Amino acid sequence: MNLKVDLCGVTLENPVMTASGTFGSGEEYSEFVDLNKLGAVVTKGVANVPWEGNPTPRVAEVYGGMLNAIGLQNPGIDLFIKRDIPFLKQYDTKIIVNVCGHTTEEYIEVVERLSDQPVDLLEINISCPNVKEGGIAFGQNPKTVEGITREIKKHAKQPVIMKLSPNVTDITEMARAAEAGGADALSMINTITGMKIDIHRRCFALANRTGGMSGPAVHPVAVRMVYQSAQAVKIPIIGMGGILNAEDAIEMILAGATAVSVGTANFTNPRVSEEVVDGIRAYMERYQVADIKELIGAVHDR
Amino acid sequence: MHTTHEKFEEMATILKQEKIAEGIYSMWLGTKEIAAHAKAGQFVSLYCNEGSRLLPRPISICEIDQKEHAVRLVYRVVGKGTDEFSGMDAGMQLKVVGPLGNGFPKGEKKAFLIGGGIGIPPMLELAKELDCEKQIVLGFRDELFLMDEFKEQGEVYIATEDGSAGTKGNVLDAIRENALTADVIYACGPAPMLRALKEYAQENDIECWISMEERMACGIGACLACVCKSKEVDAHSNVKNKRICKEGPVFAAGEVDF
């Protein structure tokens, strides 16, 4: 049985990775999960300098999901290179670094700093809904998506994954724009902008007022967007959004995802990423699927 | 003072649950490893059985019974998750991860153990573990709880907002009214209380350890939801933020701004 998938020339042992921002750089979860068993670890977004992030409260639970507005707090690329990459290098898994910035120049600075690092892929976050500059501002207009993708591709030594926002009218426009700009892969979806109000205190639940919604409640939206994008572009797609278990992951793969990321579910079950790998294997045994590639985009009409 | 403690994930069985005051519940959980490793001031992540509630609830440890492999959690019902826990009976099971965070550093100096509201429970295990002269000062809104347990551990002074018992006012009013002094403060409670104690400690030039809380998601230091402002740049975050679940929840009052 083959679980290996190819992601722009990088072979993952299996299609399961962690969603950026939910897993730090893996150290904390390594007490619960054998990182060697994951296809890749996708790190929390890192910028050229340390970012303080947003005021608290930064998270709120909603029915079947959660909102977050962390604001991309990160230690900056220097400490990240010194501490986080060497930590991940101890494991037999692929390293995908999520990159964030306020401006094109800041993204490029991080990408260039990573050029000689043992990093397998870069994931460019142009879809964070919780920062005022950068983030989603780059991800909601096809021209800017194409432009920043092209600029980053000029400087990147590793293959580039563009992480797309679902907060758009037509996801396929953004997917095509990233592909036109030279993206090697896409990942989707980042969180959906939401709001929660504490009716007892009549205040916003989050200090940032709005936050990004994630969790199983957004899963069908993510599956739909992965499916539509897979029809629209030729580059591989990493599917994420509310994956709680292997069934959800397989749904995403059938919709057209080459790999999947598990995010919010880590908070509900710290061992979930490893369990999703086992669950995919069990599904393949049950349906006698010899190669996981047979499942990618294999959905059909009833 | 971030150190890595071993954490355990267990399906814990509720040994006993009772309502001890309006909206406040006491739950004894049978958890072998967590009970064996926990220390005063640490907390556990309690997971809901209802699948729509994804995030664990961080709850401080009120008592540890290593012999009976059990921990006691005393919590206030503040939302749907804690409401779910409060409706569970002995014999039912809950997923729990812990022990989490750092406990209180224990010394031998004459100590104030100060709890306010739902910050009172963790002070009980600390009172049991501390081997020193103790003055326990508890601030309640109105209804008292855990009084018998605390009285076994030392002198107990109380303050109530409505004046129905002890000093009318807050814990500092009780300290002043009774002319109490000590060389170190250990405290858990609402931010205004902790702020006042931090100031009191500075004025009196005594050590002060406070336990903080904030909305959490992962509970283990990965998601960066539950940060508080720190005086100096934190070694892990590389900014002036500390993770309450990991570097805390207990901090030296002087190292955090809140």
Question: CB contact, 8 Å: B116 with chain A?
Answer: no
Mean pLDDT of B209-229: 97
B219 to chain A: nearest residue by CA?
A267
The closest CB to that of B222, out of A23, A59, A66, belongs to: A23
pLDDT tens readout for residues A80-90: 999 999 999 99
Look at A52 and B240 and tell me if their CB atoms are within 8 Å.
yes
CB contact at 8 A, A54 and A208: yes
Determine what percent of chain A is predicted with pLDDT higher than 70. 99
d(CA A84, CA B190): 35
pLDDT at B209 > cutoff 50: yes
Quickly state the pLDDT bin for B3 (edges 50, 70, 90): very low
Produce one character per residue of A203-224: b if its CB has 16 or more CB atoms within 10 Å, e if not.
Answer: ebbbebeebbbbbbbbbebbbe
pLDDT tens readout for residues B101-139: 999 999 999 999 999 999 999 999 999 999 999 999 999
CA distance B57 to chain A (A): 10
Active site residue A128: yes
pLDDT averaged over every residue in chain A: 97
CATH of B111-213, one of 3.30.70.1380, 3.30.70.3460, 3.40.50.80, 3.40.50.300: 3.40.50.80
How many contacts (CB atoms, under 8 Å) link A and B?
106
Quickly state the pLDDT bin for A160 (edges 50, 70, 90): very high
Residue for token pair 């326990």: B136
Query: Which residue among the candidates A8, A100, A128, A203 is catalytic per the annotation?
Result: A128
- Identify the burial level of B51 via C-beta atoms within 10 angstroms of its C-beta, where 0-12 means exposed, 13-18 middle and 19 or more buried: exposed
Q: Domains in chain A, please, with CATH? A: 5-53+73-193+214-294 (3.20.20.70)
Segments in chain B forming alpha helices (H): 32-37, 80-86, 121-129, 147-151, 171-177, 191-204
d(CA B114, CA B197): 9
CB contact at 8 A, B59 and B46: yes
The closest CB to that of B223, out of A22, A63, A216, belongs to: A22
Mean pLDDT of A112-139: 88
State residue A128's pLDDT score: 81
Segments in B48-204 forming alpha helices (H): 80-86, 121-129, 147-151, 171-177, 191-204
Give pTM, 2 decimals. Answer: 0.96
Q: What DSSP designation does A145 have?
A: H
State residue B4's pLDDT score: 57
pLDDT at A296 > cutoff 90: yes
CB contact at 8 A, B97 and B56: yes
Token duo for residue A267: 């908070």
Quickly state the pLDDT bin for B184 (edges 50, 70, 90): very high
pLDDT at B2 > cutoff 60: no
CA distance A280 to chain B (A): 21
Domain boundaries defined on chain B? 8-100, 111-213
Question: In CATH, which superfamily holds the domain spanning B8-100?
Answer: Translation factors (2.40.30.10)
The one-letter amino acid code at A39 reads G
B95 to chain A: nearest residue by CA?
A269
Residue for token pair 């005086």: B231
pLDDT at A135 > cutoff 80: no
Interfacial B residues in 67-96 facing A (CB < 8 Å): 81
State residue A131's pLDDT score: 76
Mean pLDDT of A24-47: 97
